[in-house]
Structure 1
Amino acid sequence: MTSDSSAYPTAPALPAGVTDDSVSMIGRQAILNERREVFGYELFDRTTAVDAHTAASDAALLFNALSYAGTEALVGRKLVFVNCTHESLVGGHLELIHPDKVVLEVPTLGDDATPEEIAALIPVFQSLRQRGFRLAFDQNLLRRAYVHWLPMASFIKLDMLSFPVESAEALVKFAQTHTTAQIVAEKVETQEQFDLMHSLGVRLFQGFWFARPDVVSAKTVRPSQGTILQLLNLVRSQSSTAEIEEVLKKDPTLSFNLLRFINSSGFGLSCEITSFRHAVMILGLKKLFRWAALLMTTSRAGGTAPAVGQTAVVRGRLMELLAAEMLSTEEVDNAFVVGVFSLLDVMLGIPMDKALSSIALPQTVQDALLHKTGVYAPFLELVLACENGDDEVFARTSEALHLSNHQVNWAHLQALAWADNLADDVG
């Protein structure tokens, strides 16, 4: 039974005057129950080889699918299964989606993984589960080395092409005995495979025998940087909802992006939001500022995706992560702003002092950006040292901030995964 991709619209209609900036090709394959009803969809980035996906491509796929692709056409209200690298599990893109809607497919480690490396991921899994995410693993989870991962599984996917048919019963029984996970038989290609797994108590299935993957186009549109800057200015100065709403009304691309984002199934609302005022109230000023700041850094400039925007996002996220253990919540937010606006002059093509004069920012943020002074200056210096590979400055600033090499490097990996999501989205 093959799914007919022509039965699905590729994306919601664009508002008048809005042109198509980018098209991402998203593959999907249905996961069905025993009655052949759709339980969920596994999504694939058709521009990336199955065995070559990275934290960046995983995050970009999820961001595209849930925020820009016309989610109703793509997955409706069904669960979304998305493959993840271990780096993308700590990516900031997961902050933008509702955990009830997404199952994160997690790979096991290589054969040479140490017990310490396996154990190190358990707190990451626990944190995701506490936030409401469900995790899926393949049959390698059933190996002795991963015994402590077993309680983390909500789904276990058994690849019918990866083990002898005579091993199926033992694998299923072990999973049923030692986990509470639902079992999915994947790569089911024959009636015999289906009958066997069904007789063993498996109730979820995926494979060519049911449906081959089809492709849905995900369209993205981007507003001008000047308009986003105006919105940022209003949000930062805590202007009224009415003033913010007025800016949204004036720019169809900006309002289109906001409404599509907040109405995506990834946001988790039970009713559709059609009012800009309602959208602003639900999102809140803090999240609205974050969304707009990241949107600006990924907006197109001169017809090309700005690499400088990706660098700015990495800086912002890295500063935020490094400051998290030392500064107050408000100061951590400001650290993000310092990083993400550290290339504002380059993005806007004007001197930094003029760029900053167009947006309301705290004096401490301006001091860091203009004079490299104040509480945020050493964090920015450390971030630049990471970026430039300056070992001397890295050693001096990390020591001054009492941060270990491991802490900084791990934070840098997280920041890269989070930022690459947005960069790939418009690439």
Structure 2
Amino acid sequence: MYAYELLFRAAGTGDANVTNDLSATASVIAHAAELGMGNVIGTSLGFINVDAAVLMSDFIQFLPRHHVVLEILETVEVTEELVARVEELGRAGYTFALDDVVADSANVEKLLPLAAIIKVDIGELTPGELTQLSGKFKRAGKKLLAEKVESHAQFRQCLELGFDYFQGYYFARPTILAGRRLTPSQIAIMQLMAQLASDAELSKIEQSIKQDASLGLSLLRLANAPSGGVTERIESLGQALKVLGRQQIQRWLQILLYAECDKSRTAASPLLALAACRGRLLELMAEKIRPGDRNMACIAFTVGMMSLMDALFGLPLEEILKQLAVADPVRDALLARAGMYGDMLNLAECIEQIDSARPQLAPLLQKLGLSAEQLYALQLEAFEWSDAISTPVAA
């Protein structure tokens, strides 16, 4: 995980609802400042779109120069004044990227010496054009970022062409590998999840945890965490299970699945953050739609967390669900996006693919009885929660 791109999206379901890119970028900066840039991007970089008005403005200096990359939009008219401003900001320590490059244009030539990163829109190029363009920029000593990577084939091609960074929804999709199997620890976690789903007695769950020493130690650490509010030290698994309760144990196991994968796959940490955010968002939606129904909220959380298991394990979701005794509404939501949980999951996925899925937002919001403003507030709350729990668990 190298960086996040920070984009302005209005709470409504229409377009950005701003008059120009200056307003949009100002909104991005304002929201990032409100949440705290460290909370938004952690130790990664933040890519932010800028046009001529933004570059010439004073408020751009509110951005921490060593933590952001300024993406110069492809629509910017490159004048002598703009080049001079980019040079000035470069001397001040800002890093620049050229956005949505699809050809070797005059604008690109003027700004190429000042940019460190070239973002190539691979969806607009033929394989031959991509090879030629990437070769030119590599020879110029630039870092290449492939954007709109939507398939494994595209990813492999860009990798072979020497691209340094990759961006696109492909990275939350699975690559199915024939003969792949779950590790013993993953199987143990999933068996425990199945026990919880079947309402097994805590004594039987305790016996299962005792068969995996690492699970037992992890559970005790969780029970004794300062955030748990426990005043006395928990020293037995039985105590830990009683203190935490079934709902918390279920969440712990779901998160552990993603953390376990992190030992062998560097992509697991971003997947954990995305899955946790989805789970919490669906839970909050359920609480808003049906206040006081904790069972519905718990099921919604499970659907969100489990929705990325195929990407995590590189296995078809159908095969994973064969090892879990999940309820029919969960299975229907995950496999067919059916029912209320399926609608909520669809809505969460639309948010992640907002540029292509925007037309679906209004019907889904209406179907679920949520307003755009409510969704925006729930998104922020879900993000803050997932950001808080993802890093320490994945570490």
TM-score, with normalisation over the residues of structure 1?
0.47
Whether 1:252 and 2:237 are equivalent positions in the alignment is no
Which of these residues, 324, 330, 333, is aligned with residue 295 of structure 2?
330
Aligned length: 215
- Work out whether 1:387 is the aligned partner of 2:352: yes
- Give 1:250 deviation, angstroms: 1.6
With over 3 angstroms needed to count, the CA separation of the structure-2 counterparts of 1:266 and 1:400, relative to structure 1, is closer
Task: Specify the alignment match of 1:304 in structure 2.
Answer: 266
Superposition CA RMSD, Å: 2.5
- The amino acid that maps onto 1:255 is G
Residues 90-169 of structure 1 mapped to structure 2, 5 A cutoff:
none
Q: Which has the higher strand share?
A: 1
Of Structure 1 and Structure 2, the greater helix share is in: 2
Which residue type is aligned with residue 274 of structure 2? T
Amino acid at match of 2:334: L
Deviations 1:15-71 (A, max 9, x none): xxxxxxxxxxxxxxxxxxxxxxxxxxxxxxxxxxxx85326759xxxxxxxxxxxxx
How far residue 303 of structure 1 moved from its aligned partner, in angstroms, is 4.5
Q: Are 1:272 and 2:233 an aligned pair?
A: yes
Q: Which has the higher contact order (CA 8 A, sep 6+)?
A: 1
Question: In structure 2, how many angstroms separate the alpha carbons of the residues matched to 1:349 and 1:301?
Answer: 15
Instruction: Pick one of 181, 197, 203 that aligns with 1:236.
Output: 197
Does the CA-based 8 Å contact 1:365-1:376 persist in structure 2?
yes
Residue pairs, 1:47-126, within 5 angstroms: 52-54=37-39
- Contact kept, 8 Å, 1:293 with 1:340, in 2: the verdict is yes
- Segments of structure 2 that go 5 or more residues without pairing to the other structure are 1-35, 44-183
Query: Hey, what's the Cα distance between the residues in 2 that align with 1:368 and 1:312?
Result: 15
Tell me how far apart the structure 1 counterparts of residues 37 and 213 of structure 2 sit (CA, whole Å). Answer: 37
- Per the alignment, residue 417 of structure 1 pairs with 384
Q: Does 1:402 align with 2:365?
A: no
**How far apart in 1 are the matches of 2:307 and 2:211?**
28
Amino acid at match of 1:377: G
- Report SS of the residue matched to 1:359: coil
Farther-moved stretch of structure 1 (258-267 vs 405-414): 258-267
Q: Specify the alignment match of 1:45 in structure 2.
A: none
Q: Distance in 2 between matches of 1:232 and 1:56?
A: 31
- Residue 244 of structure 1: how far off its partner (Å): 1.0
Q: Which blocks of at least 5 consecutive residues in structure 1 are unaligned? A: 1-50, 59-222
Distance 2:315 2:201 in 1: 29
Mapped to 2, the partners of 1:233 and 1:340 lie a distance apart of 15
SS of structure 2 residue aligned to 1:271 = coil
- Specify which of 296, 314, 335 is matched with residue 370 of structure 1: 335
3-state secondary structure, aligned to 2:288: coil
CA–CA distance in 1 between the matches of 2:361 and 2:325?
A: 31
Q: Is the 8 A contact 2:285 2:378 kept in 1?
A: yes
Cα offset for 1:381?
1.0
Q: Distance in 2 between matches of 1:229 and 1:238?
A: 14
Give the conservation status (yes or no) of the 8 Å contact 1:297–1:313.
no
Asked if the contact 1:368–1:376 (Cα under 8 Å) also holds between the matched residues in 2, the reply is yes
Question: How far apart, in 1, do the equivalents of 2:255 and 2:322 lie?
Answer: 20
Distance 2:230 2:390 in 1: 26
TM-score scaled by structure 2? 0.50
Residue in 2 aligned with 1:173? none
Determine if contact 1:262/1:273 at 8 Å carries over to the other structure. Answer: yes
Distance 2:265 2:320 in 1: 22
State percent identity of aligned pairs.
31
Specify the code of the residue in structure 1 equivalent to 2:317.
M
Distance 1:279 1:371, change over 3 A: same
Determine if contact 1:298/1:422 at 8 Å carries over to the other structure: no
Which of 239, 252, 261 lines up with 2:222 in the alignment?
A: 261
Distance in 2 (CA, whole Å) between partners of 1:56 and 1:292 is: 26
SS in 1 for 2:332: helix
